[in-house]
Each structure stands twice: as C-alpha cells, then as structure tokens.
Structure 1
C-alpha cells in the first residue's frame, strides 16, 4: 500500500515504478534493432557487439527517430550513445530518455579508434576539407591542430561523413571515422588512431518499450527534479549512502521552459535480490519531484 507520507504526485510516481516492475518482458529473440547512424558507425558496432552480427538493424538519421521507432514503428530495441570517456555525456540522449516512455535494458561499451579517411590515392598533403561528427572533431583536436588550414565541416554521424567523402571521389576531402567505415565505403586510411586518448571509449545504452529483468541486473537508472528547498539534493542523495548503494553517475539537464531548474539523472549499483529496491525507490520519491524510473540492467 502506498504510504500516506507521499504527496498525490509522488504516489503516482511510485505506482508508475511498481507498474514498470510488474510488466517486464523476456528478451526478444531475433530482434529488430534501431540505431543512430548508418553502416560503419560506432553505434552500429555497439548493436553488433550486444545483439550479434545477424540481428536485423535499422539505421536512423536522428536520435529521436530511434525512440519513435521503438514506440511507434515496432522496433524491439534501440541503441544510442550516451557518454564518452573523453568528451563526456551526450545531452540529447538524456533529454530523449526523459521525453519518451522507454527503459534502459542494457549497455555496452565500444573503444573509439578514429582514423582520417580519404579516397584511394589521396595523401595528407591533398586534404583541404574534413568531415565528421562534432564529437569526432573534439576527440581528435590535437591531431587537427597540426593542420590549421583544413576546413572542418560537421556531419551528424562519422560514418555518414565517410560515405559523403566516398561519393565525392574528391582527393581534397577526408573524414574522421572508424576503420570499419573505411572498409565499407572503400576509403583509404591516411592516419590512424588520431583521437586524443588511447583509452577513448563510448558507452551505449540499449533502450526498449518495456523493462527486462535478469538475475545479474545490478545497475539502476532514475531521474528526478527537486523542490527549491535548501539541502534538497543532499537529502535525495543521502538515500544512497544510508542504503550502502554505489552512486556511479550524476548528470543534470535543464528543464525546458523552467529556467534554472534541472532534471537529475542518477545511475547506481545495487543487486536487486539483495537490495530492498521498493523501499529505496519509495524513499527517493518522497524526497524528490517528477520522478522517472529508467530501468534496471547489467553493468557492463
């Protein structure tokens, strides 16, 4: 029974959490997987790593189209990048998690190994324009600083940038993308491993319209905003300390049309068999507003 100490809005949030937990599904066999990008993108690689080479994959130009594919067009799962170890969180994906009624059911990590790709026969001295995603440019900043005369032009995806260069057949054009993109689009690798960090890794989330539970699920994602009361964030976070739960990620995003108010995204580790999760969620909800339960999945 929902405790009387919760406000009506908090009671609604708690019932939403309980409903999600009560309406889980088993993993889908032979799934259709929507992903952001195109053939040869790092997101496609994440989909292959998680679901296998034979999974049916549907590419999308926009991150939001991945969510629409799950909620309206029958895709079983979506794969999206959410955080890079060098350049940080991908804000748009956090905003979409708050907007759509979907759940994180898994995660996977892909090592990012950017290369400079050109048409066969081109040389570094030929290059005048470079195409890539904004993150590709940011993650390759030190390499690009050595070529100040190059014009950097942003594309929505690294693999699409590689495709553009291939179609252009212009030896003055290059793309920052993966080795796999080079192989798919018939490009030559002009420079290898040009990213800032040798340990550059992107974390991808697997999203579905319903939650899935497994015995080794141990990572929990939630979101909430807070009342304008002194110490409200401390009070919310103290729940994790008092329950000996490892808080592994905090991200804040501005709430649209509510200036200087923020939605906090929290990831924490807790074994669902050994943690009284209902009680923890109830306590968090009692100290927050606008609570979203985003999923339980295996920490990668």
Structure 2
C-alpha cells in the first residue's frame, strides 16, 4: 500500500477516536494491540540524517534505548527508514500520534508501531562496530548511581534543599521584575493619556479664543491667548500679587500714621519747624481727649532699667 495512504488511514483512526471520546484511553484505543512492543517504524527519513539525528528528534517523547538505521551494505548510506525502541511503551503512542505525517526537511514521515521486531541477521562480512550497533544501538545509556550511605544521603538532601531555595529566590526576583515592568507599562499608559488630554485641552482653548475674537475683534488677543494657555482669567491670576510683575505701574503710597521725628543735626530748619507745628497740634488733640501729651516718661527713653534702679 502507498505510504501516504497508510498515513491517511492512521490519521482517520485517530480522528474517529476523538469523535467517539475515547482518545487517551489505551484500553479502548487501537494502540492497545501493540502494548507489548516498544518498537516503532520510521519511514521517509531524509538520507543525510544519522542515528544521532533521529534520536535527537524522537527523544522528546521518551528515552530512546535502541535504534537500527537501515544502511546500504556496500556504500553505508542510509536507505531512509529505521526501527527505534523506547524505554517506555507509552512513548511509542505519543511518537506515532504526533510524528505520523509530519514533514522533516521537506520529507513526509511515516511512523507506525512494530508488533514483533526481528533482530537483523548477522552477516559474515559485518565489522565489530556494526554488530555492536545492531545489538545495543547508539542511544545514550542509563546512568547508574552508586550506592550511598546515610551520611551521603543527608548531604545530598541538604544540597538539594539549598538548590531549591536558590531557585525560589530567583523566582521571587522574577516576580519583582514583572511587577516593575507592569508599573512601567502603567506609567507609560498614563503618560500617553495625559498627552492626549493636553491636546484636547489645547484644541478647546483654541476654539474658545476663536469665539472671543468673534465677540471682541479689537481686543488684545496676544494676552488673551496667553491667559487661555495657562487657564487664567485675568492678569492677576497669571502673575499673582508679586510687585515684580507690575512693570512700572504707579502705586499710590500710603501716608504714615505717625509724625516721624527728624534728625535735628542734619535736617533742614524748615522741616524741623514744620515738625514742631505738627507736634503741637498732636499734643492739643491728645489734651482734648484727656490723654497725656508727654512723649516719654522721665529718663524712660534714654536710661536702661538697671541704671534707674540704682538711682
């Protein structure tokens, strides 16, 4: 039968099991017939692949313990098919279901169970290396751990515990990094959102400025535009109460509430006479109110308390 027809028939069996709801139940599957054999047949292999290449591809479904890649007796070139044995028979089910009909280096693979695998007959002209490959295959051998006493077992457990703690610390660091990345993403989104809102506000201000121009075409629109940009309604809102922003505007000075005494040694005599007149008027006003007209008590403005006490 044509290999492609075999591939299609096999895939139909798998589809039928899926439709019936028995996929994965080996007691009811067609794979149950081959439960006693861990060998599979692989056909349609690219001719350049070696035993190691085939093991690398098929070892993802289980531990490979033996392989027999059929080669030409004279040239030693691969004939494009082989027999492969897994350590666990369940691996054959995975390999057949997943690799049958798969393309490998532009060639379609045909993978099927082998019910009874026959060991190849030795030939008289076969060399020792070929005989060894036929008997043992080229799959990696299982590593046998040496016997350990109780002290060595305790040390191994401690070492394993430290490794697990180190792995847990790395996982925690990964979680922190993920949180930092999430925070950065959130900050980036908020920044974009603020930028969009700023653009919308700018458009709104332009429309408002346009409406104001239509209402008052003779206004100072340079200043109005500045006020709109910052969301202010007047210059007071824009500059505040700082006198630095008055720009030479005249400010009315408030008069002093008291009559400041001039320096008699430096002031002009007219200013001194004027001060005396104002001072007499203040005394008269205080006397009318019944208040004292003396500016200072006796020696109060000139002598400290410690001197007055001594006197």
Q: TM-score, normalised by structure 1?
A: 0.23
Structure number with greater Rg is 2
Q: TM-score, normalised by structure 2?
A: 0.23
Larger helix proportion of the pair: 2
Q: Which fold has the larger relative contact order, with Cα–Cα distance below 8 Å and residues 6 or more apart in sequence?
A: 1
Larger strand proportion of the pair: 1
